[in-house]
Amino acid sequence: MNQPLSSRPKICVLADMEQALARLADWSAIHALADVEFINQPPSGAALRARIADAQALVLMRDRVPMNAALIHDLPELRYVVFTGTRNTTLDVAALQARGIPVSHTEWGPSKESTCEMTWALILGALRHMEQETARLRAGQWRPAEPGPLGGVLHGQTLGLIGLGEIGSRVARVGHAFGMEVLTWSPNMTPERAAVHGARAVNLETLLAQSKIVSLHLVPAPATRGLLNAERLGSMRDDAILVNSSRSALIDHQALCAALQGGRPAFAALDVFDVEPLPADDPLRGLPNALLTPHLGFVTEPVFARFAQGVVEGLLAWLRAEKPPRMLS
């Protein structure tokens, strides 16, 4: 490990948009040894390079700030990186390791449970028109002036899960509690694996054609990027609700906007987007049949408390020339 630092190092904490890390852990020991700058809304490009050029340590909130090899090359003082969670898809770990820069991460906390609950919040909010009904009440109304479709019921409907891992299997259990039939598909799904979670393995075409609710729970891979393209979106039921609390790369963004404008699927409830924060001029913002939330799946007090504790543990170990916990090999 590195020798003890002879002067006060600079630590930059990037993209803690919730401003939670400083609140949820005791940073006093770190402040005694280092200067800490919280850059909660970091710039990009050259402005970011200038802001963090003299940082010896970086704290990354998940993968919100891409750290590629070119950016890492332009940070000559960098000596340690810690990121929250257990996976960072925009961090070039190889570039850091080539320079001998240690990288560690935090624990997750109850993020799987949190994302499952967020998924069901999206499903129920879309099914029962929560956003529209709340807006009507705030406008001083009670019922709509014109007739229109009413909210639905989940009991007896079909839930299609694209992915049945730690989060998807939790979503399946809740679906059973609502009295739903659960179908599932993923590139490596088997009937036996599906049956363990009370689901029936089908091909993707069958899942899309039969499911009232289609919920995505895959990590993108070359074979699944843009999985839901125009053709597949058009094959969904005309009353279907598409839910994505996983990764935006699974859906063709432009095709989704066009499909929603055409009314098939009937509705989308989305927590993840290709560009985050979602640009003000993104067409999704203007669609009445889209429920949008700002990537809240993992954003809960217990999860961020675990993030904060893990970040402080890693920084203190590094500042004391000790091996940080949860190092990447």
Q: Which residues are catalytic?
A: 247, 276, 295
Which DSSP string do the residues of 152-207 spell out, in sequence order?
---TT-EEEEE--SHHHHHHHHHHHHTT-EEEEE-TT--HHHHHHTT-EE--HHHH
Backbone phi, psi, residue 57, to 5°: -140, 145
SS3 54: coil
C-alpha span between 102 and 81 (Å, rounded): 7
Residue matched to tokens 């839910």: 243
- Structural tokens at position 47: 């402005």
Residues 75-101 as b/e (b if ≥16 CB within 10 A, e otherwise) read beebbbbbbbbeebeebbbebbeeeeb
C-alpha span between 261 and 220 (Å, rounded): 25
> Of 167, 109, 147, which is closest to residue 307 (Cα–Cα)?
109
